[in-house]
Amino acid sequence: MSTELWYTERYEEHGAALSLKVREVLHREQSPYQTIEIFETEHFGTLMTLDGLVMLTDRDNFLYHEMMTHPALFAHPAPKRVLIIGGGDCGTLREVLRHPEVELAEQVELDERVTRVAERFFPLLCERNDDPRSRFHFQDGIAWAENAKPGSYDLIIVDSTDPVGPAAGLFGEEFYAACFRALGEQGVLVAQSESPLLHADLIRQCQRRMQGAGFDSVDTLFFPQFAYPSGWWSATLARKGVERNAFRRKDAEQMQGLQYYHADMQAAAMVAPAFLLPEH
């Protein structure tokens, strides 16, 4: 029997842990911001961790990346100018650039090394990095949103890590207000908002803060994501000058090549569990 290698992420506050069997460590580096590690797993393809936390695996990242992008893009009548905050692995950027309406996709990621490592180990996620519509800025996303020219984006996607350390500000009302200003008269904001099972209070807070920042309506999207704590994840979507039921269904029906999202998922993903309904 040969030695077994397992990567384990402990969800300390929840007394739970996820482990993935590893064939080998492909890469390990200390960037100016964090430890970036790449593993070849036995059954989930390549795995990236940042400071020991799973960011993505080949096998299941389609769930997160499709749900962070397509519902928001199809909720906007004409999403031409897109800002991605975080998203260093470029999986979100790839999904955004599937949309022919998009004319500019700017990605503002603090840690350039995440993107460079993704280019090497997740070539599929980075296959559209050379698209002439994409722009990369390796700097602080909060400052970028605060300094953005008012009305300069149609869609802002916050593809961040957990609300600790540098990412904590990405969950605050001031940041949402900056996004509100940076969006045009018709704008959509979508932000990853953690696990419904483990972080229901954070989701409620996120909804309240987006409303407080001036958005007309807010809905949370629910979807599975094995590699994240509890296997159940969410993104919260806020609309400015866009009807709550706005949805370009025909365009969604024509989108090809997706593994999870399709037109009928738009409404289905917004059905909250009973414990997160407002009247509950």
As annotated, the active-site residues are 159
Q: Which stretch binds a copy of itself (CB under 8 A): 100-108, 141-149, 228-236, 240-248?
A: 228-236
Dist CA 22 CA 39 (whole Å): 7
Dist CA 238 CA 246 (whole Å): 12
Chain position carrying tokens 């897109």: 82
Q: Which of 113, 106, 116 is nearest to 147 (CA)?
A: 106
| Residue 166, annotated as binding a ligand | yes
Nearer to a copy of itself, 164 or 268 (CB): 268
Least distance in Å: CB of 196 to a copy of itself? Answer: 7
Question: Does position 231 bind a copy of itself by CB under 8 A?
Answer: yes
Token pair recorded at residue 229: 């704590």
Question: Does position 52 bind a copy of itself by CB under 8 A?
Answer: no
| Residue 130, annotated as binding a ligand | no
Question: Does position 196 bind a copy of itself by CB under 8 A?
Answer: yes
Question: Does position 87 bind a copy of itself by CB under 8 A?
Answer: no
Strands 183-192 and 232-240, sheet pairing: antiparallel
Chain position carrying tokens 């909250």: 272
**Which residues in 224-253 are b (16+ Cβ under 10 Å) and which e?**
ebbbbbbebbbbbbbbbebeeeebbeeebe
Dist CA 94 CA 134 (whole Å): 10
Q: Which stretch binds a copy of itself (CB under 8 A): 26-34, 211-219, 226-234, 235-243?
A: 226-234
Least distance in Å: CB of 17 to a copy of itself? Answer: 4
Least distance in Å: CB of 53 to a copy of itself? Answer: 16
Is residue 131 within 8 A of residue 59, CB to CB? The reply is: no
- Binding test (CB under 8 A) with a copy of itself, winner from 185, 245, 274, 278: 274
| Residue 159, annotated as binding a ligand | yes
Question: Does position 204 bind a copy of itself by CB under 8 A?
Answer: no
Least distance in Å: CB of 202 to a copy of itself? Answer: 16
Question: Does position 201 bind a copy of itself by CB under 8 A?
Answer: no
Q: What is the DSSP string of 104-142?
A: EEEEE-S-HHHHHHHHHH-TTTTTTTT-TTEEEE-S-HH
- Binding test (CB under 8 A) with a copy of itself, winner from 53, 104, 246, 258: 258
Residues from 147 through 186 that contact a copy of itself (CB under 8 A): none
| Residue 95, annotated as binding a ligand | no
Token pair recorded at residue 104: 């500019």
In one-letter notation, the amino acid at residue 29 is E
Least distance in Å: CB of 43 to a copy of itself? Answer: 4
Token pair recorded at residue 69: 């992008």
Which residues are known binding-site members for S-methyl-5'-thioadenosine? Answer: 34, 109, 140-141, 166
Per CB under 8 A, residues contacting a copy of itself are: 6, 8, 10, 13-21, 41-44, 59-60, 196-197, 222, 224-226, 230-232, 258-262, 264-265, 267-269, 271, 273-275, 277
